[in-house]
Chain A
Amino acid sequence: MFEKNYIELFQENRALVERGSSGVMNALRDRALESLKTYGLPSKKLEEYLHTDVSAWFEPDWGMNLARLDMPVDMAQAFRCNVPNLSTLMYFLANDSYAESHSASRVLPDGVIAGSLKEISDSNPELVSEYYGRLADLDKTGTAAFNTLFAQDGFMVYVPDGVCVEKPLQLVTLLQSKVDLLVNRRILVVLGRGAQLKMLLCDHALSANSFLSTQVIEVFAGQDSRFELYDLEETHTRNHRVSELYIRQEAGSWVHADSITLNNGSTRNSSFVTLAGRGASLSLNGAAIADSSQHVDNLTFVDHREPDCTSSELFKYVLDGQSTGAFAGKVLVRPGSQRTVSQQTNRNICLTRQARMFTQPQLEIYADDVKCSHGSTVGQLDDNAMFYMRQRGISEKEARMLLMLAFVAEVIGMVELDALRDRLTRLVEKRFRGELSQCEGCRACR
């Protein structure tokens, strides 16, 4: 119902939006507009949004930077986001604009292109138009249409056939504004045949006012490519985030994607992965830690379209206070996708009686030679383990800490980058100790 205002806003400011963007991005706006008019923003009326009324997030009169005014962001703070012992190729998105950083020059392997989506689509329109908007489903969720309608810039990385980017690429997204702000981020990742890339996304809110960010990430994982994605949210309680990740995997490709919600306000992350080629392999995981009235909702959809593909999912939530969590995972095994191996697990701990978790695993199988399983649990910390530790002199508080860390460690342990794994472990511990509660972005993650 709130989309009407935004549609009018777009129609009145179309020229302004398009001037600040590229031809390739502008080419999709008519379709996005039609989709948004037809489907609207997702509300609780849709089953997939039963626990998260995303449309309501759009109700406030958000500021939008359609004129692409320069909004200075304090990079010095952002640099504290450095992962110790992990040297990365660092890039920034300040609100929804690409920001050229002043960091040391980044040396990329030959043929690799990384930077502003707008600029790359200006200089390489053929390349970008081949991929941009091809995965995001404009006819399914109004938020992808919304993002496509308004997004003016973002980040793109292209890794040609056979090229391996050794250093992890780190994209830091910073929200900083004097007014409550709605931002639309777009991220495009293209990996050629046999290409390899590791990517870390750090989502931060630096100023204390409210934000709503829509984020659409499209990933093309070419044949036999390898891609790691770690999407880490450390924002604050006045942040709203609706992120959609679309991945298309060709034959023999290997993708590992983790989303970790350390600190947030209200978050909806949706992941749509299509295993489009034989023998593709996916590991899709998530961890969420929430307290007070924080809300985390992860939806995953894994589409097995070809034989011999594997997918494994592990999502774990620790909910304290009056926080709420939701997980809906669907695995679809299409006819002919023989020898599919798929496992989906969602485990949750509610630390208080007020915390709520909604979990909905779903499996649809239309092939007969498959190994598929799913399971989900909601429980409390193990009383027997608690008492065992207390008998050994470990205080109740420390015992809880150890058990909570151990619970989340299963997901963190799957992070393939050692230095990142260590940092995440420390961050999770800090978070449980309440030392990240003041987090206004990178200030706290030293």
Chain B
Amino acid sequence: MNNMLEIRDLQASVADKQILKGINLTVNAGEVHAIMGPNGSGKSTMSNVLVGHPGYTVTGGSVTFKGKDLLAMPAEDRSHEGLFLSFQYPVEIPGVSMTNFMRTAINEKRKYQGLPPMAPTDFLKLIKEKRDLVKLDAKFMNRSVNEGFSGGEKKRNEIFQMAMLEPSLSILDETDSGLDIDALRIVADGVNRLKSPETAVIVITHYQRLLDYIKPDIVHVLYQGRIIRTAGPQLALELEERGYDWVIKEFEESQK
């Protein structure tokens, strides 16, 4: 599908501070986009705004997702429509077991789609299949969501949930932070296996490292709430080598 996600002049603020100052971005089905940029450039704000975090206020622009006005939907409906965020800091939920959490999430989505709740045996089969994808041990399913999980386990759990919910657009927000190389490989492998011509991924990262495993088609540099450069995958390699300063300098000169 062309124009799965269409962001036009998106502006947003947090606590009255303007962070996004006019983002334009189009993501088509089948594509992998990488969004890079220095700290504080607005990468996480962008992902939070897209998934409808109540702490962020949209002050201008529009976002259509699969032809629908994304910004008009509550967070849960954005999820039902196929938008997924792998959190930079997955939240611990004491007392809510992974199984209960996933069952509720799956059945809420099915309700939205007008389907009956999933049969328990099908649900267990699905869990098993998706766990294997990210090598997440069965014991985690009886534990409280993310509680006592190591950094790597939390990120694998994010990709497990992504696999369970089968989103059409996944945003991976610094999924590589805090991962050792083995965990990184497992996570990236999971993402790659979930990729299809019908789905798209936005990878938000500081480093080239993750992009060695999840190959982007298009790389964007976000700086001070704007996308200041868009190019092919070679841009990520160049940034890794030369840093952001030269891109910023070129951008600033072009603005004069």
Q: Which of B9-17, B103-111, B123-131, B238-246 contacts A (4 or more CB under 8 A)?
A: B103-111
Q: Quick check: A384 and B91 within 8 Å, CB to CB? A: yes
Complex: how many Å from CA A410 to CA B91? 19
Residue B251 at the chain A interface, CB threshold 8 Å: no
* CB interface residues, B 72-112, toward A, < 8 Å: 74-76, 78-80, 84-85, 87, 90-96, 100-101, 104-105, 108-109, 112
Roughly how many angstroms separate A382 CA and B95 CA in the complex, as a whole number?
A: 13
Residues of A close to B100: CB separation below 8 A: 402
Of the stretches A113-121, A295-303, A392-400, the one at the interface is A392-400
Contact of B93 among A389, A390, A391 (CB under 8 A): A389
Q: Is the CB of A388 within 8 A of B87?
A: yes
Option from B76, B79, B112 in Cβ contact (under 8 Å) with A396: B76
Which of A387, A392, A395 is close to B161, meaning CB atoms less than 8 Å apart?
A: A392
In contact, B94 and A387 (Cβ under 8 angstroms): no
Give the distance in Å from the alpha carbon of A406 to the alpha carbon of B105 in the complex. 16
User: Which residues of B sit under 8 angstroms from A405, Cβ to Cβ?
Assistant: 95-96
Q: How far is the CB of A414 from chain B (nearest CB, A)?
A: 13
Q: Do B79 and A391 touch across chains, with their CB atoms under 8 A apart?
A: yes
Contact between chains at A393 and B161 (CB < 8 Å):
no
Residues in A with CB closer than 8 Å to B109 are 393
Report chain A residues within 8 Å CB of B144.
406
In the complex the two chains form, is A393's CB within 8 Å of B105's CB? yes
CB-CB under 8 A from B78, the residues of chain A are: 391
Contact with B along A161-195 (1 / 0, CB 8 A): 00000000000000000000000000000000000
The complex places the Cα of A427 from the Cα of B93 at a distance, in Å, of: 22
Decide: A393 and B80 in contact? CB cutoff 8 A. yes
Alpha-carbon distance between A392 and B96 when the two chains are bound, in angstroms: 14
Q: Does A385 interact with chain B (Cβ within 8 Å)?
A: yes
Residues of B within 8 A of A407 (CB): 95
- Cβ–Cβ contact B53 & A393, under 8 A: no
- Is A445 engaged at the interface, CB distance under 8 Å to the other chain? no
Find the residue from B52, B94, B161 having the highest chain A CB count within 10 A: B94
Within 8 A of A (CB), among B52-67: 52-54
Residue A245 at the chain B interface, CB threshold 8 Å: no
Question: What number of B residues sit within 8 Å (CB to CB) of A?
Answer: 31
Give CA–CA (A410, B147) in the complex, Å.
15
- How far in angstroms is the closest Cβ of chain B from A369? 32
Is there contact, CB below 8 Å, between A402 and B90? Answer: no
> A431 to B132, alpha carbons, bound, how many Å?
38
- Is B76 a contact partner of A406 (Cβ separation < 8 A)? no
Closest A residue to B77 by beta carbon equals A393
Asked if residues B74 and A406 are in contact (CB atoms below 8 Å), the reply is no
Kindly supply a per-residue 1/0 record for chain A positions 301-316, scoring 1 wherever the CB is within 8 Å of any chain B CB and 0 otherwise.
0000000000000000
Q: Of A383, A389, A410, which one neighbours B101 at CB under 8 angstroms?
A: A389
Closest to B110 in A: A393
Q: How far is the CA of A389 from the CA of B161 in the complex (A)?
A: 11
Residue from B54, B95, B96, B165 within 8 A of A393 (CB atoms):
B165
Nearest CB to that of A401 among chain B residues? B104
Cα distance A403–B144 when bound, in Å?
A: 11
A391 near B75: Cβ-Cβ < 8 Å = yes
Pick the most buried of A390, A398, A402, A406: most chain B CB atoms within 10 A of its CB: A390
Q: How far is the CA of A394 from the CA of B80 in the complex (A)?
A: 9
Contact (Cβ within 8 A) A390 B104 = no
B51 on the A face (CB < 8 A) = yes
Q: Is the CB of B93 within 8 A of A385?
A: yes
Q: How far apart sit A403 and B109, CA to CA, in the bound complex (Å)? A: 19
Q: Does A409 contact B (CB under 8 A)?
A: yes
- Cα A394 to Cα B19 in complex, Å, equals 28
Interchain nearest-CB distance for B67 vs A (Å)? 20
Residues of A within 8 A of B104 (CB): 389, 394, 398, 402
Q: Determine the chain A residues whose CB is within 8 A of the CB of B96 once the complex forms.
A: 402-403, 405-406
**Cβ–Cβ contact A390 & B76, under 8 A:** yes
- Is A406's CB under 8 angstroms from B165's CB? no
In the assembled complex, how far is the CB of residue A183 from the closest CB belonging to chain B, in whole angstroms? Answer: 37
A residues 396-442 with Cβ under 8 Å of B? 396, 398, 402-403, 405-407, 409-410
Closest chain-B Cβ to A172's Cβ sits at a distance in Å of 30
A398 and B105 CA atoms in complex are apart in Å by: 10
Instruction: Determine the distance from Cα of A67 to Cα of B80 in the docked complex, in whole angstroms.
Output: 65
Interchain CA distance A406-B104 in the complex, whole Å: 14
> Quick check: B79 and A392 within 8 Å, CB to CB?
yes
With contact pairs A387-B54, A398-B104, A402-B100 given, residues A393 and B93 touching in the complex (Cβ less than 8 Å): no
Contact call B93/A403, Cβ cutoff below 8 A: yes
Please, which residues of chain A bring their CB within 8 A of the CB of B76? Answer: 390-391, 393-396
CB <8 Å contact, B165 and A392: yes
Cβ contacts under 8 Å, B92 to chain A: 385
Closest CB-CB distance, A375 to chain B, in whole Å? 15
Interface residues of A in 52-93 (CB under 8 A from B): none
Known: A387-B54, A402-B100. A392 touches B95 (CB 8 A): no
* Chain A contacts for B145, CB-based, 8 A: 388
Whose C-beta in chain A lies nearest to the C-beta of B109?
A393
Which residue among B92, B101, B144, B165 has the maximum number of chain A CB atoms within 10 Å of its CB? B101
Having A387-B53, A392-B101, A406-B94, one finds 19 other A-B pairs with CB under 8 Å, namely A382-B93, A385-B92, A387-B91, A389-B105, A390-B52, A390-B79, A391-B51, A391-B84, A391-B87, A393-B112, A394-B104, A396-B76, A402-B100, A402-B101, A403-B96, A405-B96, A406-B96, A409-B95, A410-B95
Residues of chain B touching chain A, judged by Cβ–Cβ distance below 8 Å, are 51-54, 74-76, 78-80, 84-85, 87, 90-96, 100-101, 104-105, 108-109, 112, 144-145, 161, 165
Q: Can you list 14 A-B contacts with CB-CB less than 8 angstroms, sorted by A residue number?
A: A388-B91, A388-B93, A388-B145, A389-B105, A390-B74, A390-B79, A391-B52, A391-B78, A391-B84, A392-B165, A402-B96, A403-B96, A406-B144, A410-B95
Closest 10 pairs between A and B when the two form their complex, measured CB to CB: A406-B95, A393-B79, A388-B91, A390-B75, A392-B105, A385-B93, A406-B96, A384-B91, A393-B109, A390-B76
